[in-house]
Structure 1
């Protein structure tokens, strides 16, 4: 059926994701009326909006049919795409991370660091992560009875964890946070390089390119150091890594650092802040979590579903195929709408309620299949430890102003979360 243009435009609008309600309403309409529809928002090439939980999983399972690397892997307006192709000499990708790869490269590059993120290795980090969590909770307490939980805790705790794993010194953490926010918040005038929301698409691409260059300059220096003086950190693995006996190419190595240094903390930060926002508005859920430590894993999963920090990835069809009764042509572009899948009424009872006792919770915020988030176990550990340490000390919490989300249609969560609280 024909999708109303305002619905099509809403699901690509960064401001709609900051609002939350607008994009939720648009996805609810699509799931009900056109769950797999080919749409054409203003300024974009047509694509299929995949909004149902089952259909998102079906695409994620079929990596041979639906590729990451053949086309733009995130929503890219037509004019921005032209600029990217001009910069790269024809590639839709300015960087080449695991997100941009298909088999066999994806498997080979993922295997390089996968062991670092498996539960058996992460257990060695648990004591240090718990120490860090306690330190940031102490700092929260030092604020008195008010703080901005997003800026004072949620941004900084996962950042410290990931930078220690990667091998970035603490003094450089503010720089990593600033570059991450510039990258993911390039549509947000409060964090992007221009300070404006009204820059044109080509200028936005140049801004993103400049951020990538800053990242690469930093990590190129780190690579030289780790090749001379390898350490027990992820940077040394990347700097000295090899695929089939050959060192990583410069673009691939720099891209590996960038995804670790950005997605590795920003998504967990968003989920931490989103969980606090939800609990501050729902005293009964806060009381349940505080009274029963065994509910913390459920709180973590529900927070991941509730926030869904990664809003979409794009796929492109490698052949003519069929999905949910629709004919998909070779080359068609597809948007996997993760917030929609995580509100699917056929999978989640009362999906617009925040319920830490939700069982089962088949949230798909980490993706599925071969491209499932490599850092999912670390993220869950960080979140679980944070709430295990914070809830026993937190007597009460409520909002102390208006929280606001980042303006982004790709990766976003709360950017400011003023709270009033009492610590025990």
Structure 2
């Protein structure tokens, strides 16, 4: 294995949100890294040095050790030196504006995770299945009503998981559009079509400013709901979160608001991205649609492959709390470690023919939901809602094709299709 540093010009494009609008370009970067620099450091101008972890086995080894590799001591997502300093100014010294499950470390992380772990367990979400199936039918009906053409990403994929999750939280439907807007400001702050109106990405303070605005907008929205649910709990997720206890007392304020934020954003955006990729593949591969129509029991496997293929959470950053040796390399205490889930899910050593979408792939032990203690809390709900939607849509589709080139969002963090234009025929009874 090479002991040399990664040439910064090779990996610098992966530090630019615009690069991710073309997945082929991104995959070319990480394919080269897996081959020539599978576990090496890079120093991109304006950023602290990072270890870039591209291999599936290495990522899993690091991601499962939350005590050694922290997510909250430094920014959990890729950020420049100047950006991190601005965040510290905004927060009074913390490296993250948000204090959600993503940024919390042991033992605090498990305490906060346990607040909703029962609600999101396999048994916990069974009660949600009838509502999810009803919502899936509503959106399948909507799709059919749009025949023969629509933008599947904008008109179905963005909106279906949004409604599922916000209904579970207890957010009135009149406010769903606002929640989608805030989500896009947060995750696709650099995308010209989805970013906060008026934001100026040439200003180095803009990212921090947008994140601060998003936090404050959510805080303003959820504070009255929290007070209401604490006084009069209901059968919704908002009541579970608002009344959650940590060591017998209430949650710290920023962590409480952040809990609502992650549920209201990551709770649907990643599923939307994955669902958009699913239709993109069906439109390109009529053989897959035919196979799923003939064998509906393959739909769960199709969903798993869309998760691997989409890898909507593309990266997280951790920092080492102690020296750690892996593959003959020593990550030093304080070093930053960039975990590429997108690369790990295309690792040639983990997935045969990884650049082929194979809806019959088995086993399919992707890391699309993360790995270890930070595995996505909503993993069972996400699978349930995607399976429910495709079970409604696939039997009713006779054929589907693209009417233009799908467009990816510009985001180096959470990314998916922002447009999937399709023409489709409907099965007639």
Shorter-chain TM range is over 0.9
Cα offset for 1:108? Answer: 0.5
TM-score, reference length from structure 1: 0.98
User: 1:194: Cα distance to partner?
Assistant: 3.9
The equivalent residue for 2:373 is: 370
8 Å Cα contact 1:52-1:341 kept in structure 2: yes
Q: Match of 1:398, SS? A: strand
Q: Does 1:77 pair with 2:90?
A: no
Q: Is contact 2:64-2:371 (8 Å) kept?
A: yes
Q: Distance in 2 between matches of 1:186 and 1:42?
A: 21
Look up the match of 2:99: 96
The equivalent residue for 1:352 is 355
Question: How far apart, CA to CA, are the structure 2 residues paired with 1:364 and 1:59?
Answer: 13
Aligned-residue offset at 1:197: 6.6
Which of 85, 89, 97 is matched with 1:86 structurally?
89
Of 258, 264, 274, the residue aligned with 1:261 is: 264
Residues in 2 aligned to 1:7 and 1:239: alpha-carbon distance in whole angstroms: 46
Between the aligned partners of 1:168 and 1:423, the Cα distance in structure 2 is: 33
Segment of structure 1 superposing worse, 392-401 or 192-201: 192-201
Answer yes or no: is 1:121 the counterpart of 2:119: no
Distance 1:80 1:67 in 2: 19
1:302 paired with 2:305, answer: yes
* Alpha-carbon distance in 2 for matches of 1:383, 1:325: 41
Of 393, 396, 404 in structure 1, the residue corresponding to residue 399 of structure 2 is: 396
Q: Write the distance in 1 (CA, Å) between the matches of 2:17 and 2:45.
A: 14
Quick one: distance in 1 between partners of 2:93 and 2:201? 27
Question: Given the alignment of the two structures, is residue 379 of structure 1 paired with residue 382 of structure 2, yes or no?
Answer: yes
Counterpart in the other structure of 1:133: 136
Unpaired runs of 5+ residues, structure 2, are none
Cα distance in 1, alignment partners of residues 290 and 21 from structure 2: 28
When structure 1 is superposed on structure 2, of 261-270 and 9-18 the one drifting more is 9-18
In structure 2, the partner of 1:284 is: 287
How far apart are residue 258 of structure 1 and its match? 0.2
Where does the alignment leave 5 or more consecutive residues of structure 1 unmatched? Answer: none
Question: Mean Cα displacement is larger for which, 279-288 or 306-315?
Answer: 279-288
CA distance in 1, matches of 2:390, 2:198: 34
- In structure 2, distance between residues paired with 1:170 and 1:126: 19
Cα deviation for residue 96 of structure 1 reads 0.4
Name 2:323's counterpart in structure 1: 320
- The normalised TM-score by structure 2 is 0.97
Query: What displacement does 1:144 show?
Result: 2.2
Q: Is the Cα contact below 8 Å between 1:188 and 1:196 reproduced in 2?
A: no
**Equivalent pair of 1:189/1:197 in contact (CA under 8 Å):** no
Contact kept? 2:199, 2:206, Cα under 8 Å: no
C-alpha contact (below 8 Å) 1:188/1:197 kept by paired residues? no
The alignment of Structure 1 onto Structure 2 pairs a total of residues equal to 424
SS class of match (1:93): coil
TM-superposition CA deviations, 1:357-392 (whole Å, max 9, x none): 111111101111111100000000011111111110
